[in-house]
Amino acid sequence: GILQHPDGTVLKQLQPPPRGPREQEFYNKVYDSDCCDSVLLELREYLPKYFGVWSPPTAPNDTYLKLEDVTRKFNKPCIMDVKIGQKSYDPYASAEKIQQQVSKYPLMEEIGFLVLGMRVYHVSSDSYETQNQHYGRSLTKETVKDGISKFFHNGYCLRKDAIAASIQKVEKILEWFEGQKQLNFYASSLLFVYEGSCQAPTVRLSDVTLAEKRGVPRGLLAGGDILEYNNNIHLLSSTENGKIEASVSKGLSKFYALHKKAYSKRHHSQLSLKVENLEQDNVWKSSTCIAQEHLNGNVLPQLEKVFCHMPAEIKESANVEVRMIDFAHVFPSNTKDEGYIYGLKNLITVLQNILDN
């Protein structure tokens, strides 16, 4: 398994030959300090950073790959591992190995990818739901869309911002594959990570009566008008005037005006949310999941639903990572990796369908 190093990196034990040495050789080639190959230099953007190999003092013969912990910056990381490609066996696999791999997931060639596992944070219960490889292998052509959408549902709502950001990142990886003929990847995966915490970094309530109706919600400061949360998710990108107006409900006379402020001395930009009387047209419509509800003292769940359902086009800054991992079966080539490209395109289609529907 993956181990944690005290310095914040992760350690992946080198597999037995030829897989382990092949993966090490791959990382060494891509991260060679003398590398001037533009294809490999761009590939670094889509991999975890590589810090060489490491052996514990007590077992100097055990070798580990020392890699970036892609989940480290997240507060509540949601993680999914998806194997990509039409074949999960390499060109040198024996007939027995081929049969073994095909029997594990016969639909691999048709679907082009396989969910190996996921871990999803549910805001409502403050707990994680985990699915293993058996879950992914149970998915069919008809159920794979719903199966993957489970990864982006946090118990309150579908995280469309994370889906949209994931699509953008997978499309960048697809562009790289479309433009290179050096390497073919087998049994390699994409690691998806997004911030599961859905709370706004800063919430300002100028109309304090909303909070007073049923007591002060958790997180409200003594001043009575500020809720602060420290997390890594960015919910809004800048607009022309820096302001996005939103209708919370037709039944409410109040509108939320969200504007992004940059603080030079803060680690992240913060969002502030003010309750104002705005009679002008709103930029986006609220989700139907709260259309009939009224804000009361229990403010946080309502705000979480609003944030979760903000349209994808204004949430390009969602905190999402998509990285390629597992390179024990990477081989030189002089053709495009059509199997991997096929899998990426199919995965993008599924993600886009989840987003659209």
The secondary structure of 161-203 as a DSSP string is HHHHHHHHHHHHHHHHHHT--SEEESSEEEEEEEE-----SEE
The mean pLDDT value for 82-110 works out to 97
φ/ψ (deg, to 5) at 72: -60, -35
Structure tokens belonging to residue 302 = 């309502």
Name the residue among 123, 96, 273, 118 with its Cα closest to residue 198. 123
The per-residue pLDDT for range 114-170, each reduced to its tens digit, is: 999 999 999 999 999 999 999 999 999 999 999 999 999 999 999 999 999 999 999
- Sheet harboring 320-325: ordered strands across? 127-131, 113-122, 77-84, 188-195, 320-325
- Give pLDDT, residue 1: 75
Name the residue among 5, 119, 122, 115 with its Cα closest to residue 66. 5
**Fold of the 70-198+318-356 domain:** D-amino Acid Aminotransferase; Chain A, domain 1 (3.30.470)
3-state secondary structure of 334: coil
The mean pLDDT value for 267-279 works out to 36
336 CB burial (10 A radius; 0-12, 13-18, 19+): middle
Query: Does residue 283 register a pLDDT over 90?
Result: no
Report how far apart, in Å, the C-alpha atoms of 206 and of each of 33, 210, 224, 245, 289 are.
Answer: 54, 9, 9, 16, 24
How far apart CA 151 and CA 320 sit, in angstroms, is: 13
The mean pLDDT value for 233-261 works out to 33
Name the residue among 2, 287, 11 with its Cα closest to residue 119. 2
Per the CB < 8 A criterion, the answer to whether 19 and 80 are in contact is no
- Give pLDDT, residue 357: 87
- pTM of the full predicted structure? 0.70
Name the residue among 125, 309, 274 with its Cα closest to residue 202. 274
- Higher-pLDDT residue of 255 and 52 is 52
- Give pLDDT, residue 228: 34
Share of the chain above pLDDT 70, in %: 66
Q: What letters, b where the CB count within 10 A reaches 16 and e where it falls short, cover 62-89? A: ebbbbbebbeeebebbbbbbbbbbbbbb
Average pLDDT, rounded, for the chain: 77
3-state secondary structure of 151: helix
In which band, very low, low, confident or very high, does the pLDDT at 272 lie, cut at 50, 70 and 90? very low
- Give pLDDT, residue 220: 37
3-state secondary structure of 351: helix
The per-residue pLDDT for range 186-222, each reduced to its tens digit, is: 999 999 999 999 654 333 334 343 333 334 344 333 3
- Give pLDDT, residue 318: 72
Report how far apart, in Å, the C-alpha atoms of 118 and of each of 7, 62, 211 are.
Answer: 25, 29, 37
**How far is residue 238 CA from its own chain's centroid?**
21
The mean pLDDT value for 70-99 works out to 97
Query: Does residue 112 register a pLDDT over 60?
Result: yes
- Give pLDDT, residue 198: 63
Structure tokens belonging to residue 265 = 């001395």
Report how far apart, in Å, the C-alpha atoms of 152 and of each of 73, 149, 194, 199, 287 are.
Answer: 19, 5, 9, 16, 17
How far apart CA 202 and CA 6 sit, in angstroms, is: 32
How far apart CA 183 and CA 332 sit, in angstroms, is: 5
The per-residue pLDDT for range 315-343, each reduced to its tens digit, is: 445 799 999 999 999 999 999 999 999 99
Name the residue among 121, 149, 187, 206 with its Cα closest to residue 357. 149
Total H helices, total E strands in the chain = 10, 16
- For the chain, residues classed under CATH 3.30.470.160 are 70-198+318-356
Pairing of strands 183-185, 243-247: unpaired
- Give pLDDT, residue 308: 53
Unique residue bearing structure tokens 């602060």: 228
